[in-house]
Structure 1
Amino acid sequence: MKKLIILIILFATSSQLVSAQTCDCNPNGFNSFVFSYAKTNQTVRDGHQFSVKCKTPFTLNGGYKCIYSTKVCDVKLKAVIKNATGAAIKTYANFTFPLEYEFLNGGNYVLEITPVCGDKKCPSVKFYFGVSCEDVADCKCNKAGWDNIYASINNVSKQIKCGETIDLKVGQPFSLKGGYKCEGDCNAVLNAKLVNLSTGRVQNFPNFKMDG
């Protein structure tokens, strides 16, 4: 009879020990996610689709807590970023929030974050990214200013300067030749405006050409 009592006590003690080491997935899942991009913040959920530009950093913050009874059980997070073909371009074996990242190339990507509580792999979350790359040409004003400008009147060409007055008769044709070169891999777009100083009438010439 005494042996039976001893066995029961040992069994009860062993059960309490196992219970103290319980580490389970959180039924409520992750904490709220906050996405920060281009100086704006928004709260997002699992499955959100983002539209971002390449070489533009963003931040994703969040959190996850495992369920435990007595002994603290910290979550272990794993994350991976995959491209449209499913190939992993970035892997985080020991992921921590916040995620700070920027895509270098355009395309479609998915970020998957998986929590692990003890030896249990918990349900993951996924976020989708559409990334566009707009290469903006380095285009600046020419420090040297305009090319030489020539006015042709009665088949006589004369170099003129900015602000110079040209004397013409009513109905007398004339032409201008010259141009402007931007600095960088881009072309200048010229817009001209002819103003009658007596009447104030304005005539606009979009995409003006100075080819004589």
Structure 2
Amino acid sequence: MPNICIHGLCINGQGSYQCYCKPGYTGDSCDQDIDECLSSPCKNGGTCQNLENNYECTCIEGFEGKDCSININECASNPCSAGSTCVDGIASYKCVCQEGLSGPHCEINIDDCESQPCAHGGRCTDALNGYACDCAGTGYTGASCELNIDECASQPCRNGGSCFDDVNDYRCACYAAFTGESRSTSRLAWPKDNNVSRQYIYGGKEMCCSIAKAGQQGNG
């Protein structure tokens, strides 16, 4: 007797029979394969292949899982440099860099010295999102060597001499009774102050510390 129930179990009855189909089959003779792909179980553009009582999804790039419902986290491998933020996409990611960094993975330290921020000959050292200026020997100070150092702040001109600040230097205007220390000292007349005559010592950092003898015009 032929197998009436092709993919099932046949049960005899009085003048009849009944087929009990295996999972995945239907029909009076259990001869019809149920297409599990008809319900579109594969998500996010996945392709469905019908199997016996089952299906298989082929996922597009960026998704995984039985139904292609899981977005693969491309940020899980920490592709962005430390301190930067990874934003996951579909089969991709984007790095949001912290200040001072650039590049696809925020791997490039931006050269903050490229714009030459250190004025007046200061030497620039690049840092992360910043720079440091070495102003030594320039006569200037400040974050960008922008402030002229007041060499008169230490009151280097003695015996009542007046100090005039210069760049990395100063000059003293001495009373007539005093002179400076430089051998190249020259003198210029200075207006009287309270009837006391002064002379301008014009040279290198004279300090008005030597008492000038009568008729003396300097140490040079």
What is the TM-score normalised by the length of structure 1? 0.27
Which one has a bigger Cα radius of gyration?
Answer: 2
Indicate the structure whose relative CO is greater, using CA pairs within 8 Å and at least 6 residues apart: 1
What is the TM-score normalised by the length of structure 2? 0.26
